[in-house]
Structure 1
Amino acid sequence: MNYEVLAIDKHPERVQRWSAQLDRVVQADATEDGSLRQLGVAGFGRAVVAIGASVEASVLTVLALVELGVPQVWARATSQKHAKILSSVGAHHVIFPEAETGERVAHLIVSQLLDFVELDDDFAIAAVRVPESLAGRTLLDLRPDDRYGVRVVGLKVPGEHFRSAADDTPLPREGVLVVEGGIDQVHRFARLR
Structure 2
Amino acid sequence: MSARSSEERGVVVIGLGRFGSHLAGSLLRLGHEVMAVDRDPARVERWSARLDRVVQADATEEDALRQLGITSFGRAVVAIGASLEASVFTVLALAELGLPQIWARATSRRHARILSSVGAHHVVFPEAETGERVAHLIVTRMLDFIEFGDDFAIARVPVPETLAGRPLSEIRPIERYGVRVLGAKVTGEPFRYASDSTVLPPGSTLVIEGNIDQVQRFAGLS
TM-score range, shorter chain: over 0.9
Structure 2 residue corresponding to 1:70, chosen from 99, 110, 132:
99
Taking the aligned partners of 1:115 and 1:68, their CA distance within structure 2 comes to 39
Identical-pair percentage: 70
Taking the aligned partners of 2:137 and 2:214, their CA distance within structure 1 comes to 15
Report how far residue 163 of structure 1 moved.
Answer: 2.2
Which residue of 2 is the match for residue 183 of structure 1? Answer: 212
Report how far residue 40 of structure 1 moved.
Answer: 0.7
Which residue of 1 is the match for residue 108 of structure 2? Answer: 79
Taking the aligned partners of 2:50 and 2:95, their CA distance within structure 1 comes to 27
Report how far residue 92 of structure 1 moved.
Answer: 0.3
Equivalent AA in structure 2 for residue 119 of structure 1: F
Give the superposed CA RMSD: 0.8
The range that moved more, 129-138 or 13-22, is 13-22
Taking the aligned partners of 1:160 and 1:30, their CA distance within structure 2 comes to 47
Taking the aligned partners of 2:201 and 2:67, their CA distance within structure 1 comes to 57
TM-score between both structures, scaled by the size of structure 2 = 0.85
Report how far residue 154 of structure 1 moved.
Answer: 1.3
Taking the aligned partners of 2:190 and 2:119, their CA distance within structure 1 comes to 41
Report how far residue 191 of structure 1 moved.
Answer: 0.7
Q: Which runs of 5+ in 1 are unaligned?
A: none
Report how far residue 151 of structure 1 moved.
Answer: 0.2
Which residue of 2 is the match for residue 26 of structure 1? Answer: 55
Which residue of 2 is the match for residue 121 of structure 1? Answer: 150
1:38 is aligned to 2:67:
yes
Show CA shifts across 1:3-37 (max 9, x none): 11000001011111111221100000000111100
TM-score between both structures, scaled by the size of structure 1 = 0.98
| Runs (4+) off by over 3 Å | none
Which residue of 2 is the match for residue 101 of structure 1? Answer: 130
Show CA shifts across 1:109-147 (max 9, x none): 010100000011311000000001111111111110000
Structure 1 residue corresponding to 2:190, chosen from 157, 161, 176:
161
Equivalent AA in structure 2 for residue 77 of structure 1: A
Structure 2 residue corresponding to 1:11, chosen from 26, 34, 40:
40
Report how far residue 172 of structure 1 moved.
Answer: 1.3
Report how far residue 157 of structure 1 moved.
Answer: 1.0
Taking the aligned partners of 1:163 and 1:31, their CA distance within structure 2 comes to 48
Report how far residue 161 of structure 1 moved.
Answer: 2.4
Which residue of 1 is the match for residue 24 of structure 2? Answer: none
Greater percentage in helix: 2
Equivalent AA in structure 1 for residue 33 of structure 2: E
Q: Which runs of 5+ in 2 are unaligned?
A: 1-29
1:49 is aligned to 2:78:
yes
Taking the aligned partners of 2:189 and 2:95, their CA distance within structure 1 comes to 45
Taking the aligned partners of 1:34 and 1:172, their CA distance within structure 2 comes to 60
